[in-house]
A and B are shown apart, each in its own frame.
Chain A
Amino acid sequence: AQTVTQSQPEMSVQEAETVTLSCTYDTSENNYYLFWYKQPPSRQMILVIRQEAYKQQNATENRFSVNFQKAAKSFSLKISDSQLGDTAMYFCAFMKHGRGDMRFGAGTRLTVKP
């Protein structure tokens, strides 16, 4: 079974600074996807960024980028120019190709301070 580990229960960052959230996972699969989801106080689950394991290039979405290290099974999220609206719980998730369901980490609560 796949496991996803987020070792930082809470983090904080000053507005406009950069922060990196860590995620490691354990799998014997070769084809899979990794995701970062954001959960603001509204509880809504919002997709931040997606990475396909067969792609070597790291995914980027505006201020959000990942550092995907397949051999190390590491998938960290970097948020640049942090904004107050980035304050949320962030979940790292793993999806095996052909399954459609996800395994989640325990989450990292990020607070952006003004």
Chain B
Amino acid sequence: EAQVTQNPRYLITVTGKKLTVTCSQNMNHEYMSWYRQDPGLGLRQIYYSMNVEVTDKGDVPEGYKVSRKEKRNFPLILESPSPNQTSLYFCASSTDRGQSDPGRNTEAFFGQGTRLTVV
């Protein structure tokens, strides 16, 4: 079954305690992204990866780190979490068929989300 697995689903932590949210996909997608969802703001991109060892900042990267050492994994690291990072986080993987590859669909698959609370 094609899926994006994100863990943990819920996490409560204290300010300053380093944490990692894991993300893994089994579809051999080249693109992976992290988003945070806040009320009234939709989903905002934190970081993005086009392939192994290739990452780029999104719209709200401050306070976050990522790595892409393997194609299937894209962990999100909060080195020193703060209360303003309390949010709902989503990992996504995607592929882009373009116009030349009708056998593939362009779409993104999302993990189940991680509800993070920083106190």
Contacts and interface: CB of A to CB of B under 8 A. Distances in A.
B42 A47 contact: no
Contacts, number: 74
B30 A43 contact: no
Interface in A1-25: 4, 6, 9
Interface stretch (B16-24, B64-72, B75-83, B106-114): B106-114
Interface residues of B, number: 30
Contacts of A31: 99
A111 B31 CA distance: 33
Interface in B17-71: 29-31, 33, 35, 40-45, 48, 50, 58
Interface of B: 29-31, 33, 35, 40-45, 48, 50, 58, 88, 90, 92, 94-96, 98-99, 105-108, 110, 112-113, 115
